């Protein structure tokens, strides 16, 4: 067992609060949250928090992890040029071997940012899953059915395979997006959702042009079209959700569909600002993702959290909009539930030990007026002291414990891009 | 002498580029930039960059350093409530002793963010200057004349005193803002500017309401009003510059006035997005500031740089807007020149040794497609390996060398806020 003591704990249920409990971890799960007993048991390791804060890890609820290979090579371009000249042709060169290395690079970045799980949508999923399992990182693969797939039935095989493969990996159904997927394939995905009673996800309402195109093609917005096909009959949600009509918002609220926001990507690609306050007020459940490094370019959850709040303020010209507490809940709790990781959403007995220690003894976390707000409005990767997934310490004091030497990995990644570009 | 070797150097003049030179520092200045000579001299210390990047430090061209005391205690409030209920009453309790400690807290945060100089506008300037000198940090104090000052002539005394006090401290003329300063006092400030042939600065066009109020009161925008009084006869500039008319932009371009942008503060207080691309296209020189922690809440230059680019993209719905190279130039070069620190603006022989080592061996800096873009779009405080001001290492590998123990300082700061709130 591992013991975290002498610090603070951020807990969410039944309400968000910071307590001074200690936390014990055994067999990958949290087995005690509370005061120290008079005669504590023997521990494998005791971690003195020295006043620092233990939190449930951040859940990256929408990403394309291996897109680290495109970081800083496709910036400051018009959207079309970015996608057709930079992203698509180079993705074609991303072999499973290369994707494996770039996935590991992304996982290192997640760990350094306090992220303990990802909801990933990309390809070469065998190599992707292997990289995650070898690192000890938790991931939920989201199917990304689209018109370029040569083997449509592979979705069902992957669904069965990855949900049985490893405790760290699971798989959910989805299409890439309405504009990349024909109706027949959408209907096939819906048939799987009905067969397995599964939620479905898609890139949704990311750009104004996407919504306009869908209206032209179908006379319906993307959420309405998908819903009319039965896509959301067992729940699910959308990634981005920037351009949502009032009817779309009402649909998401009624069916409790997850709206996953990607603030940095939406700024960098000039897509817009998602109406999070409007969604929240309507009762839509919310989560946060980094999107891929091709459009962000970092996988930095502190930057996403900060923007998930302050962009609401500037969009409405109201400094009281947004709000740190709601953002922290989206980051730690909402993301977990959106991905189906309902036992990774809090610090409580029985929950999985996906935990992060936040260093409060850095100047940006002082003074201690309000720890939650410090975290959202002033936090940065320098505050991530330790990241644990499934009870294993994968990152501590700047060092990675994932079975891969960072510098050797960087060399491999740079060798790949020299061949690819 | 200190030697930086085995790495990369970011240089700006005559054009931005990354070279593989080494850099030597002696007597607070850079004394060699180039290849290693066959017989190098003796060095006091040799720093192996291990491939990392040496850059001219970031210049924080608008801030209120000691406002760290208000971090996270006045968030998510309407602007009026923020200012009149939280900022003003608590500022009244900020004694010189307290301001001294909160200034040191801000300096630690600057160092951890790669900032090597600040352009600060606040009060209790003796205590403020002392804190900077004791830490070895470089600062330019900007006068902040306004209607609450009891002793107007103090500006001239401070101008003479702080410009003669210490190599690390200088002083420039300014008013707080049009809306807080009567015409008589503006004219007094202009008389000083004329007497000493000095540039003048002010908070300017921060909010729409400020500009509308000024138009009502004077029939002119703030830049036009100040210019009509002779305020800009020897140059200067404005802080924020969010709501600039075409005439204001033309005035700034014609007189080469500095527009200092504060992207995070403008988001958090819902002020708006400064039109940096429009200003740049017109030829207005640009710099970046964090503003104070009361409205930001971090003093994190990576966040400011990122937003200085990507907000331009979303504002114009054009992913090609903004751009990393221009932002890096604003951060390192523009800021120095705006503040009058023209010998801190580059890595070249004779320039002051205000330098930062960027750790490229972190996952967010890989792969190395483009180092400048990695820095602006993916950089974070975890990448600041070393910060040097005037040839002295003040921060390295997470540790501070400023003659103050961080944990003792945090205790003092928390004791202050317990008394003040």
A241-273 pLDDT per residue, tens: 999 999 999 999 999 999 999 999 999 999 999
Instruction: Calculate the CA A208 to chain-centre distance.
Output: 23
> Please, which pLDDT band fits residue B341 given cuts at 50, 70 and 90?
very high
Say if A419 falls within a structural domain: no
| Residue A107 zone, left/alpha/beta (φ > 0; ψ -120 to 50; rest) | alpha
Per CB-CB distance under 8 Å, the chain B contacts of A370 are 72-73, 75
Does A27 lie in the same domain as A156? Answer: no
Contact criterion met (CB below 8 Å) for A380 and A82: no
Does B28 lie in the same domain as B115? Answer: no
What is the CB neighbour count within 10 angstroms for residue B166? 14
B282-331 pLDDT per residue, tens: 999 999 999 999 999 999 999 999 999 999 999 999 999 999 999 999 99
Length, in residues, of chain B? 421
Q: Cβ contact (<8 Å) for B71 and A318?
A: no
What pLDDT is stored for residue B78 in this prediction?
85
Average per-residue pLDDT for chain A: 97
Among the listed residues A48, A128, A138, A54, the one whose alpha carbon sits nearest the alpha carbon of residue A392: A138
**CATH code (residue A49):** 2.30.40.10
Does B263 lie in the same domain as B366? Answer: no
User: How does strand B2-5 pair with strand B45-48?
Assistant: parallel
The first and second tokens of residue B117, run together, are: 């100089």
The first and second tokens of residue B119, run together, are: 């352009």
Contact criterion met (CB below 8 Å) for A328 and A11: no
User: How does strand A200-204 pair with strand A169-177?
Assistant: parallel
- What's the burial of A230, exposed, middle or buried (CB within 10 Å: 0-12/13-18/19+)? middle
For the cut 90, the answer to whether the pLDDT of residue B39 exceeds it is no
Rounded to whole angstroms, the Cα distance separating B224 from B257 reads 13
Rounded to whole angstroms, the Cα distance separating B376 from B315 reads 18
Q: Give the residue with greater pLDDT, A38 vs A375.
A: A375
Rounded to whole angstroms, the Cα distance separating A223 from A242 reads 12
Contact criterion met (CB below 8 Å) for B139 and B132: yes
Contact criterion met (CB below 8 Å) for B251 and B205: no
Say if B343 falls within a structural domain: no
Q: Cβ contact (<8 Å) for A414 and B367?
A: yes
Say if A413 falls within a structural domain: no
User: How does strand B286-288 pair with strand B258-261?
Assistant: parallel
Over pLDDT 90: what percentage of chain B? 95
For the cut 90, the answer to whether the pLDDT of residue A78 exceeds it is no
> What's the DSSP call for residue A330?
I
Rounded to whole angstroms, the Cα distance separating B103 from B96 reads 10
> What's the DSSP call for residue B309?
H
Say if A421 falls within a structural domain: no
Considering only the beta carbons, identify the residue of B303, B314, B324 that sits closest to A273.
B314
Rounded to whole angstroms, the Cα distance separating B322 from B324 reads 7
Distance of residue A191 Cα from the nearest chain B Cα, in angstroms: 37
What pLDDT is stored for residue B22 in this prediction?
97
Rounded to whole angstroms, the Cα distance separating A347 from A263 reads 27
What pLDDT is stored for residue B306 in this prediction?
98
Does A121 lie in the same domain as A210? Answer: yes
**CATH code (residue A323):** 3.20.20.140
Contact criterion met (CB below 8 Å) for A286 and A280: yes
* Helices within A4-150 (DSSP H only): 79-81, 88-91, 96-112, 125-135
Does B108 lie in the same domain as B45? Answer: no
Length, in residues, of chain A? 421
Rounded to whole angstroms, the Cα distance separating B421 from B417 reads 6
Q: Number of CB pairs < 8 Å for A and B?
A: 230
Rounded (10°) angle between helices A301-316 and B301-316: 50
Contact criterion met (CB below 8 Å) for B40 and B17: no
The mean pLDDT of A101-105, rounded to a whole number, is 98
Say if A416 falls within a structural domain: no
Give the total number of structural domains in chain B.
2
Q: Cβ contact (<8 Å) for A367 and B417?
A: yes
The first and second tokens of residue A206, run together, are: 């990311």
Rounded to whole angstroms, the Cα distance separating A351 from A334 reads 15
Rounded to whole angstroms, the Cα distance separating B167 from A74 reads 43
> Please, which pLDDT band fits residue B418 given cuts at 50, 70 and 90?
very high
**3-class secondary structure, A156:** helix
Distance of residue A105 Cα from the nearest chain B Cα, in angstroms: 6
Per CB-CB distance under 8 Å, the chain A contacts of B314 are 266-267, 270-273
Rounded to whole angstroms, the Cα distance separating A304 from A292 reads 13
Among the listed residues B89, B60, B44, B29, the one whose alpha carbon sits nearest the alpha carbon of residue B354: B29
ipTM value greater than 0.90:
yes
Does A189 lie in the same domain as A77? Answer: yes
Per CB-CB distance under 8 Å, the chain A contacts of B317 are 208, 270, 272
Contact criterion met (CB below 8 Å) for A148 and A192: no
The first and second tokens of residue A324, run together, are: 């740190």
- What's the burial of B18, exposed, middle or buried (CB within 10 Å: 0-12/13-18/19+)? middle
Which of A338, A357, A382 corresponds to the end of one domain?
Answer: A338
For the sheet with B258-261, list strands across it: B58-63, B115-120, B138-142, B169-177, B200-204, B236-240, B258-261, B286-288
- What's the burial of A317, exposed, middle or buried (CB within 10 Å: 0-12/13-18/19+)? middle
* Helices within B10-124 (DSSP H only): 79-80, 88-91, 96-112
Which of B313, B338, B363 corresponds to the end of one domain?
Answer: B338
Q: Which residue has the tokens 């319906």?
A: A220
The mean pLDDT of B251-269, rounded to a whole number, is 98
Per CB-CB distance under 8 Å, the chain B contacts of A106 are 363
Tell me which chain B residue has its CA closest to the CA of residue A370.
B72
Considering only the beta carbons, identify the residue of A82, A310, A363 that sits closest to B406.
A363
B50-80 pLDDT per residue, tens: 999 999 999 999 999 999 999 998 899 888 8
Does B52 lie in the same domain as B66? Answer: no
Tell me which chain A residue has its CA closest to the CA of residue B311.
A267
Q: Cβ contact (<8 Å) for B77 and A319?
A: yes
Q: Residues of A29-53 as b/e, b for ≥16 C-beta within 10 angstroms?
A: bbbbbeeeeeeeeeeeeebebeebb
Q: Cβ contact (<8 Å) for A378 and B71?
A: yes
Q: Cβ contact (<8 Å) for B76 and A323?
A: yes
Say if B9 falls within a structural domain: yes
A15-64 pLDDT per residue, tens: 999 999 999 999 999 999 999 888 889 999 999 999 999 999 999 999 99
> Please, which pLDDT band fits residue B36 given cuts at 50, 70 and 90?
confident
Rounded to whole angstroms, the Cα distance separating B172 from B237 reads 11
- What's the burial of B29, exposed, middle or buried (CB within 10 Å: 0-12/13-18/19+)? middle
Per CB-CB distance under 8 Å, the chain B contacts of A320 are 76-78
Report CA torsion sign: A71, A74, A75, A78: negative
For the cut 90, the answer to whether the pLDDT of residue A404 exceeds it is no
Say if A37 falls within a structural domain: yes
Per CB-CB distance under 8 Å, the chain B contacts of A302 are 380
Q: Cβ contact (<8 Å) for A76 and B266?
A: no
> Please, which pLDDT band fits residue B81 given cuts at 50, 70 and 90?
confident
Over pLDDT 90: what percentage of chain A? 95
Q: Cβ contact (<8 Å) for B414 and A366?
A: yes
* Helices within A324-379 (DSSP H only): 324-329, 335-338, 371-373
Contact criterion met (CB below 8 Å) for A176 and A212: no
Considering only the beta carbons, identify the residue of A208, A318, A380 that sits closest to B270.
A318
Q: Cβ contact (<8 Å) for A369 and B317?
A: no
Does B253 lie in the same domain as B174? Answer: yes
Does A204 lie in the same domain as A138? Answer: yes
Alpha-carbon separation of residue A365 from A283, B71, B188 (angstroms): 32, 9, 41
> What's the DSSP call for residue A381?
G
Q: Cβ contact (<8 Å) for B377 and A266?
A: no
B88-133 pLDDT per residue, tens: 999 999 999 999 999 999 999 999 999 999 999 999 999 999 999 9
Which of A364, A365, A371, A397 to probe by mutation at the B interface, max B CB count within 10 Å? A364
Which of A338, A373, A388 corresponds to the end of one domain?
Answer: A338
Does B40 lie in the same domain as B88? Answer: no
Per CB-CB distance under 8 Å, the chain B contacts of A310 are 264, 267-268
What pLDDT is stored for residue B225 in this prediction?
98
Considering only the beta carbons, identify the residue of A267, A293, A363 that sits closest to B109.
A363
Contact criterion met (CB below 8 Å) for A106 and A120: no
Which of B366, B376, B385 to probe by mutation at the A interface, max A CB count within 10 Å? B366
Does B136 lie in the same domain as B27? Answer: no
Say if A357 falls within a structural domain: yes
> Please, which pLDDT band fits residue B37 given cuts at 50, 70 and 90?
confident
For the cut 90, the answer to whether the pLDDT of residue B136 exceeds it is yes
What pLDDT is stored for residue A38 in this prediction?
87
What is the CB neighbour count within 10 angstroms for residue B150? 5
Which of A52, A63, A65, A76 to probe by mutation at the B interface, max B CB count within 10 Å? A76
What pLDDT is stored for residue B56 in this prediction?
98
Range(s) of the domain holding residue B15:
2-56+352-400
Does A62 lie in the same domain as A169? Answer: yes
For the cut 90, the answer to whether the pLDDT of residue B337 exceeds it is yes
Rounded to whole angstroms, the Cα distance separating B145 from B122 reads 10
């Amino acid at each position: 067992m591992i013991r975290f003591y002498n610090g603070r704990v951020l807990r969410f249920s039944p309400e968000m609060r910071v307590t001074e409990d200690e936390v014990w971890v055994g067999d990958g799960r949290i087995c005690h949250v509370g005061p120290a007993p008079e005669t504590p048991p023997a521990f494998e390791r005791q971690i003195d928090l020295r006043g620092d804060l233990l939190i449930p890890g951040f859940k990256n609820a929408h990403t394309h992890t291996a897109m680290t290979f495109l970081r800083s090579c496709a910036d400051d371009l018009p959207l079309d040029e970015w996608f057709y000249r930079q992203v698509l042709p180079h993705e074609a060169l991303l072999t499973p071997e290369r994707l494996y290395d770039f996935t590991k690079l992304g996982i290192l970045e997640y760990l350094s940012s306090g992220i303990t799980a990802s909801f990933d949508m990309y390809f070469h999923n065998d190599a992707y899953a292997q990289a995650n399992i070898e690192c000890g990182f938790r991931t939920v693969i989201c199917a990304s059915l689209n018109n370029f797939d040569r083997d449509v039935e592979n979705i069902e095989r992957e669904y069965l395979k990855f949900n049985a493969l490893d405790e760290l990996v699971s798989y959910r159904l989805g299409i890439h997006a309405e504009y990349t997927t024909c109706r027949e394939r959408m209907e096939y995905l819906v048939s799987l959702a009905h067969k397995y009673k599964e939620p479905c996800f898609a890139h949704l309402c990311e750009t104004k042009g996407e919504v306009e195109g869908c209206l032209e093609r179908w006379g319906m917005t993307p959420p309405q079209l998908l819903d009319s096909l039965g896509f959301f009959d067992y729940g699910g949600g959308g990634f981005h959700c920037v351009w949502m009509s009032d009817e779309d918002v009402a649909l998401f609220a009624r069916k409790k569909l997850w709206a996953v926001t990607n603030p940095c990507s939406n700024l960098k690609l000039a897509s817009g600002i998602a109406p999070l306050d409007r969604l929240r007020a309507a009762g839509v459940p919310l989560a946060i993702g980094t999107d891929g490094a091709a459009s962000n370019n970092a996988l930095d959850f502190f930057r996403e959290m900060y923007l998930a709040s302050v962009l609401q303020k500037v969009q409405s010209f109201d400094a009281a909009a947004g709000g740190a507490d709601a953002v922290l809940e989206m980051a730690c709790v909402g993301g977990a539930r959106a991905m189906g990781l309902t036992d990774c959403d809090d610090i409580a007995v029985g929950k999985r030990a996906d935990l992060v220690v936040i260093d409060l003894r850095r100047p940006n976390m002082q003074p201690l007026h309000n720890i939650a707000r410090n975290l959202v409005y002033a936090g940065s990767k320098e505050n991530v002291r330790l990241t644990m997934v499934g009870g294993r310490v994968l990152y501590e004091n700047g060092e990675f414990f994932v079975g891969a030497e960072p510098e050797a990995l960087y060399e491999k990644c740079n060798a790949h891009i020299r061949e690819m570009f």
